[in-house]
Structure 1
Amino acid sequence: MQTYRNTLNGTLVDPVSCYEIFNPANGQSLGMAPESDEQEVDRAVQSAKLAQNSWAKQGDKERRDVINRVAQILEENSDYLAELITREQGKPLSGPGSRFEMQACVGWTQVPASLDLPPEIVYEDDERKDTLHRVPLGVVAAIAPWNWPLMIAIWQIIPAIRMGNAVVLKPSEYTPIATLEMVRLINQVLPAGVLNTVTGDGSIGSKLTHHPEINKIMFTGSESTGRRIIEASAKNLSPITLELGGNDAAIVMPGTNVKNIANDLFWGAFLNMGQTCACIKRLYVHEDDYDAVMAELSAIASQMKIGDGMDESVLVGPLQNKMQFEKVQELVSDAKTSGCDVREFGEVPDQGYFMPLTLVGDIKDGQRLVDEEQFGPALPIIRYRDLEDAVESANGLDAGLGASLWADKPAEASKLATRLEAGTVWINQHGAIHPMVPFGGNKASGYGVEFGIEGLKAVTQSRVVSLKK
């Protein structure tokens, strides 16, 4: 059985201890993952600290060239890493699955390498000239989730090192293997110590975020963990980028041609089996259009094959872990007990964390499946009579990552868009992120942004040089 290893200071290190990782589709063992301790966390941070100074001193062009070489390695190894993602995380190879995730890894590496963030003259007159520079923060602690393990890790790693920081990455304890292999591969071109890993459960993440040499924290995960990270950051006054998930609302405006939007609505909700922060988690439909929406989504769901994602014909895989599987089952069971119209689609394999694609109608605000982020393949569809009521419902929860409006006349939707309390409001699409477009949450979905120029700024600190003429 293969034992995977952490990378510290550019070298694979023998694990302190290990634990076994299993395929969520069939329960087969994938190998042993390392489990760090406090001493290994300290070694990783010290390695990053020692490497960061010389990395920051390299010219901007040199760093960009190295990152472009990282993109080449990701592209050359995309098939290998995609198969690891499918076996470990569960998402299918095909469709918007593991190969798609690897394409995103390449793109989100190339784009930061292409961007310029030069010094900016913010004020000048006859007597003075003030120039704003963006300089590295130092050592970045990056904590990645299990739903898009490599893609979100890249979102954290690449902007940070692009701007001259060094990184200590902790992947989720549920999905460490593919991430460790990705880090091993890209360390072939990175200077030793610029990118290090530690692994384990939340206690290791806590040791990392509490470490006195951490200068920035980037975290994607739950709100409860995010609040603990905020507390941890107080010791060092470390700036934070937090993406704490969402309970995204989508509103289909009255009279919209449902056939034109049904496929995009479906994947907006069921991408990665609903295990995506910016998925549609609540769908609000006018009462006159409700039956048509249910019929169209039912027709699509009934055609989907559920199974092991290594099968090229499969587009819907398992949930990633038992905890999430049981949570979604509980929420669907609550909806059934409450008398909701629960419609389940797809033949579910006998083993693995598989659930049918589930549409839940005759449900209202205040019920658990609506108010709690399910993070799984169960979509509540809520009738509304007045559009103002739908907007009020969409804004009624603390979550505020994404939202969407769906309409035959996008101009009408645009008038409503800024009233939805979310970091991104999409029109006739959902979850359509782009490496040039800032992305982040409002309210309890976190703060700070990633991607594009604003994402580069978020992993730097400003330094003003003020010259007296």
Structure 2
Amino acid sequence: MSTFRNYVNGEFVDAADGRTLQIVDPTTGQAYATSPLSGAADVDAAMASAAGAFETWRDATPSTRQKLLLKIADAVEARADELVDAECRNTGKPRGLTKSEEIGPMVDQIRFFAGAARLLEGKAAGEYMDGMTSIIRREPVGVCAQVAPWNYPMMMAVWKFAPAIAAGNAVVLKPSDTTPASTVLLAEIVGAAIAELELPAGIFNVICGDRETGRLMVEHHTPAMASITGSVRAGIQVAESAAKDVKRVHLELGGKAPVVVFEDADIAEAVEGISVAGFFNAGQDCTAATRVLVHESIHDAFVEALAKAAAETKTGGIDDEDVLYGPLNNANQLAQVSGFIERLPAHAKVEAGGHRVGEVGYFYAPTVVSGLQQDDEIIQNEVFGPVITVQKFTGEDQVVAYANGVDYALASSVWTKDHARAMRMSRHLDFGCVWINTHMQLAAEMPHGGFKKSGYGKDLSSYGFEDYTRIKHVMTAI
């Protein structure tokens, strides 16, 4: 059994009371490691470490912050194989895809925020009142309590700590209770960079634990900001807890992305792009292409082609060949995905999949369901599994109503050759991102975040960086 430990003030430590959690390999369903089940004493220690470091780190020059992040990026790149091994053992993801699709973007994102550290923006200083000069200061907010999810453990850790550190904040980061492995390794990498530059050790801290640990972090008096990527339920709880002492909150929550396919779309291209974007990472992605809306004139041909693509898509172990995705993350998630299929209404039709794969691990077949109606449970609620639903529509007004007719508003896509139509749809779709003739592509320079119950605040981009800063007006008589 491997043992993961908290990282506090530059040292790896066990939980103060010695409690642990079992970490399960989702390809086998068997425990392979333990991690700390951190309590109040552990949260206190991590927050004290971060608060102490912040007193110095807040005054570090942008070039110093950049230097640290660039060193971290280089180290992540150099230790890519170790990170991939840890991530894949903990999540069951295919090794090759994890290295090619995650390490490069992670390194690029860290380097982007290294650059953002030196590009602080604000209004020009000047005389906006007679006899007075005003300037704007952009400052770090303070200690940030951050909670990362289990679907992309190491990449989401980067999305959390990189902008926060770039802005001059100190971090206490908690990985999901099921996926601490790569985050603990990142702590070693980040800690080594901090030590080499002789910076305060408490800039970056990691504590492992469960929902109670996260609650203790958010409710702690030290953090000035709480950031979470997770479910709507978890986001609401964080917002309620943070409201008690008016903490800033950054929420990236669930999604139910509409994928609108018009009659002029190339069916083969659309099916190829949508099937990958729907099944990648076992559909465990808030932006996954899981809710397809197809024009009635091409509906039947599209469903047939999508079902064929699903049947040809493979799920399997870490080192299996030609595998697009691995298992679902945990037994509860397998039960959730299975439950949606078991509760399908009579008018729904399973065109492909709809069942568990094998008896070992948490694998689920690529699934396509047609014949659905707008108020069906599987249309309104996030499945977070390798399940693509298909509805038909007749015109733009109807499809906009269908697309926007859910509580989520994170991502969407439109598939058409008509540029004017694509522009109209991008205006009317009530989602934080609209892709056109593609889906689930991300750039470090562009913001990621939603509306409604998908949360608020942005990840990536200069907007994500600014979320970790505060604005101060300074006025002086002249």
Q: TM-score, normalised by structure 2?
A: 0.94
Name the SS of the counterpart of 2:95 in structure 1. coil
Give the letter aligned to residue 7 of structure 2: T
Residues 194-236 of structure 1, C-alpha deviation per residue, up to 9 Å, x if partnerless?
Answer: 1111111111100000000110111111111111111111232
Alignment of 1:21-60 (within 5 A): 21-60=23-62
Alignment of 1:177-326 (within 5 A): 177-190=181-194, 191=199, 192-326=201-335
Kindly tell me the number of residue pairs found equivalent between the two proteins: 468
Contact 1:309 1:315 in 2 (8 A): no
Aligned partner of 2:13 in structure 1 is 13
Q: CA deviation at 1:312?
A: 4.3
Residue from 452, 455, 461 that aligns with 2:464? 455
Residues 259-315 of structure 1, C-alpha deviation per residue, up to 9 Å, x if partnerless?
Answer: 122211112211211000111221000111112212322232222222102324322
Residue from 160, 165, 170 that aligns with 1:161? 165
Q: CA deviation at 1:346?
A: 9.9
Name the SS of the counterpart of 1:219 in structure 2. strand
Give the letter aligned to residue 438 of structure 1: P
Residues 416-454 of structure 1, C-alpha deviation per residue, up to 9 Å, x if partnerless?
Answer: 211111111111122222111112111111011122111
Q: TM-score, normalised by structure 1?
A: 0.96
- Asked if residue 146 in structure 1 is aligned to residue 150 in structure 2, the reply is yes
Quick one: structure 1 residues 112 and 197, their matched pair in 2 at CA, closer, same or farther if it must change by over 3 Å? same
Q: In the aligned structure 1, how far is the partner of 2:382 from the partner of 2:179?
A: 21
Quick one: percent identity of the two aligned structures?
A: 31
Contact 2:350 2:367 in 1 (8 A): no
Residues 48-101 of structure 1, C-alpha deviation per residue, up to 9 Å, x if partnerless?
Answer: 000011112221101100110000111111111112111211221233x35422
Q: In the aligned structure 2, how far is the partner of 1:441 from the partner of 1:72?
A: 31
Q: CA deviation at 1:389?
A: 0.8
Q: In the aligned structure 2, how far is the partner of 1:33 from the partner of 1:327?
A: 25
- Asked if residue 375 in structure 1 is aligned to residue 384 in structure 2, the reply is yes
Give the letter aligned to residue 36 of structure 1: S
Give the letter aligned to residue 198 of structure 1: I
Give the letter aligned to residue 23 of structure 1: D
Q: In the aligned structure 2, how far is the partner of 1:80 from the partner of 1:336?
A: 45
Residues 359-379 of structure 1, C-alpha deviation per residue, up to 9 Å, x if partnerless?
Answer: 001111111211111000111
Name the SS of the counterpart of 2:193 in structure 1. coil
Name the SS of the counterpart of 2:3 in structure 1. coil
Q: In the aligned structure 2, how far is the partner of 1:349 from the partner of 1:106?
A: 36
- Asked if residue 129 in structure 1 is aligned to residue 154 in structure 2, the reply is no
Q: In the aligned structure 2, how far is the partner of 1:119 from the partner of 1:386?
A: 43
Q: CA deviation at 1:357?
A: 0.4
Quick one: structure 1 residues 468 and 312, their matched pair in 2 at CA, closer, same or farther if it must change by over 3 Å? farther
Residue from 400, 418, 426 that aligns with 2:435? 426
Name the SS of the counterpart of 2:344 in structure 1. helix
Aligned partner of 1:331 in structure 2 is 340
Residues 155-208 of structure 1, C-alpha deviation per residue, up to 9 Å, x if partnerless?
Answer: 010100111100000110011122111112221012301111111111110000
Q: In the aligned structure 1, how far is the partner of 2:321 from the partner of 2:83?
A: 16
After TM superposition, the runs of 4+ consecutive aligned structure 1 residues lying more than 4 A away are 336-339
Contact 2:349 2:370 in 1 (8 A): yes
Contact 2:348 2:370 in 1 (8 A): no
Residues 313-352 of structure 1, C-alpha deviation per residue, up to 9 Å, x if partnerless?
Answer: 3222111111111111111122275542432289933311
Residue from 416, 425, 446 that aligns with 2:425? 416
Give the letter aligned to residue 263 of structure 2: P
Name the SS of the counterpart of 1:25 in structure 2. coil
Q: In the aligned structure 1, how far is the partner of 2:417 from the partner of 2:271?
A: 13
Name the SS of the counterpart of 1:173 in structure 2. coil
RMSD value, Cα: 1.8
Structure 2 unaligned spans of 5+ = none
- Asked if residue 111 in structure 1 is aligned to residue 112 in structure 2, the reply is yes
